[in-house]
Amino acid sequence: MKYFFLFVVIILLPFRGFPQRNIPNIIDTVETDSGAVILYRNHIWEYLENEPVMMSLEEDSTGLFSHSWINDQVFAYMGASKRDSIKDTLLTLVTNSRKFNVPVVGRLYRGFSYTHKGMDISLKKGDTVRAAFDGVVRYAKYNRGGFGNLVILRHYNGLETYYAHLSKLKVMVNQVVKANEVIGLGGSTGRSRSPHLHFEIRYKDIPLDPQRMIDFDNGKLITGIFPITKSVFYPSDYDGKAVYYTIRSGDTLARIAKKCHTSVKEICAINKIKTTYTLRVGRSLRVK
pLDDT score, position 83: 67
* Helical (H) or strand (E) element with 10: helix 2-12
Q: Is the pLDDT of residue 148 over 70?
A: yes
Rounded to two decimals, what is the model's pTM?
0.74
Q: Output the average pLDDT for the chain.
A: 83
**Beta bridge partner(s), residue 244:** 286
**Beta bridge partner(s), residue 20:** none
Higher pLDDT, 108 or 238: 108
Calculate mean pLDDT across residues 44-53.
53
Question: CA of 65: how far to CAs of 176, 228, 286, in Å?
Answer: 11, 20, 39
pLDDT score, position 13: 41
Higher pLDDT, 124 or 18: 124
Higher pLDDT, 264 or 54: 264
Interior angle at CA 181, CA 180 and CA 182, nearest 5: 115
Confidence bin at 258 (pLDDT 50/70/90):
very high
Question: CA of 204: how far to CAs of 93, 158, 170, in Å?
Answer: 16, 7, 25
Domains with residue ranges and CATH for the chain: 2-47 (no CATH), 83-234 (2.70.70.10), 244-286 (3.10.350.10)
Q: How many residues does the chain have?
A: 288
Q: Is the pLDDT of residue 210 over 70?
A: yes
Interior angle at CA 141, CA 15 and CA 152, nearest 5: 125
Cα atoms in the 13 Å half-sphere on the side-chain side of 144:
1
CA distance 175 to 78: 22
What strands lie across the sheet with 168-169, from one edge to the other? 128-130, 182-185, 168-169
Asked if residues 76 and 67 have their Cβ atoms less than 8 Å apart, the reply is no
- Using alpha carbons, select from 286, 126, 102, 133 the residue that is nearest to residue 211: 102
Q: Is the pLDDT of residue 170 over 50?
A: yes
pLDDT score, position 18: 38
Report the DSSP pairing between strands 89-92 and 148-155: unpaired
Q: Is the pLDDT of residue 46 over 90?
A: no
**Beta bridge partner(s), residue 226:** 91
CA distance 158 to 29: 30
Calculate mean pLDDT across residues 249-273.
91
Confidence bin at 47 (pLDDT 50/70/90):
low
- Using alpha carbons, select from 193, 203, 194, 78 the residue that is nearest to residue 152: 203
Calculate mean pLDDT across residues 220-224.
92
Q: What is the DSSP letter of 177?
A: E
